[in-house]
Amino acid sequence: MKVKKAVIPAAGFGTRFLPATKSTPKEMLTIVDKPAIHYNVEELIEAGIEDILIIIGRNKEDIANYFDRSPELELFLKENGKEELLELTERISNMANIHYVRQKDAKGLGHAVHCAKTFVGDEPFALLLGDDLVYATTPCIKQLADMYETYESTIIGVQNVDKSQVNKYGIIDGLKVGENLYEVKDLVEKPSIEEAPSNIAIMGRYILTPDIFHMIEETPPGKNGEIQLTDALRRLNQQKEIYAYLFDGKRYDTGDKLGYLIATVEYALRNEELSEDFRSYLKKLL
Ligand code: G1P
């Protein structure tokens, strides 16, 4: 079965990026010339997924406004003969079928994902965490969706991290069953360095099945008193096979100040219009 729907949770407070995120959603922080969430929607479209549910919280209207029409701006651009900019603006509002639901209480990622239950129905779906950007030749979600088509089972996108970083991620204990594929034996949310079963970290990209909703319903609050998706996956893994796929691509954590700066510099260096001047500026500066 093909993956045709996707969910982007974007309800978090963005506490790692205060004060910028006090009134601006962290998903709307700009990487070069587009908000971070635009890159994630592009990743989905390139993977052939156009039905997208964004889970928002209060103070997140900017996200819906961004993907909506901007009649006044469009009229202004039209009247001033700015055809290219007009086309760019219109393209954003026609990018995909974007739906929204509000997570009323900030009770954690598992709770946020559960808000997608009605939208998802009876189909597998892609889950992209708004903070994580992945730059890849084949969109990361496409790599995972291709795996799903073979295994018809939950697929988690993972990458190896430095042992010192394991306490920032969901970590898997896996048995290697293919070149880049692990059968998941166990999962643990943000373990200490001593407790971590490996350095294989969950990177904000998943293909999930509707089974996850029932598991979330049975999952008590875990780390930080929140309902953790990793705990629900752990529960699911006791009943069904789950795979972790070591995807190809560079992942950026844009919800973190340093991660955001790294993403900004690297995306700017890849930008046709800016790369030459920016590169020579950086060379001089350093
Ligand atoms: C979430 C997940 C964690 C995952 C991480 C990837 O944590 O709970 O398992 O490794 O995203 O970015 P968060 O960063 O939202 O605390």
pLDDT at 58: 82
- Verify whether ligand 1 is closer than 6 Å to residue 156 (CB atom): no
Query: Total domain count for the chain?
Result: 1
d(CA 27, CA 131): 7
pLDDT at 132: 94
Domain span including residue 24: 5-285
Lookup: tokens for 6: 């996707």
Helix axes 71-79, 83-93, angle to 10 degrees: 160
> Is a pLDDT exceeding 90 seen at residue 13?
no
Contact 202, 226 (CB under 8 A): no
DSSP characters for 109-151? HHHHHHTTHHHHTTS-EEEE-TTEEEE-SS-HHHHHHHHHHHH
Q: Whose alpha carbon is nearest atom 10 of ligand 1?
A: 169
Determine the distance separating the centroid of ligand 1 and the alpha carbon of 21, expressed in angstroms.
Answer: 18
pLDDT at 38: 96
Determine the distance separating the centroid of ligand 1 and the alpha carbon of 204, expressed in angstroms.
Answer: 6
Write the pLDDT tens digit of every residue in 53-75: 999 988 788 999 999 999 999 99
Which comes out higher in pLDDT, residue 265 or 15?
265
Whether the bond into 19 is cis, omega within 30 of 0: yes
Write the pLDDT tens digit of every residue in 132-191: 999 999 999 999 999 999 999 999 999 999 999 999 999 999 999 999 999 999 999 999
Query: What is the domain-level CATH number for residue 9?
Result: 3.90.550.10
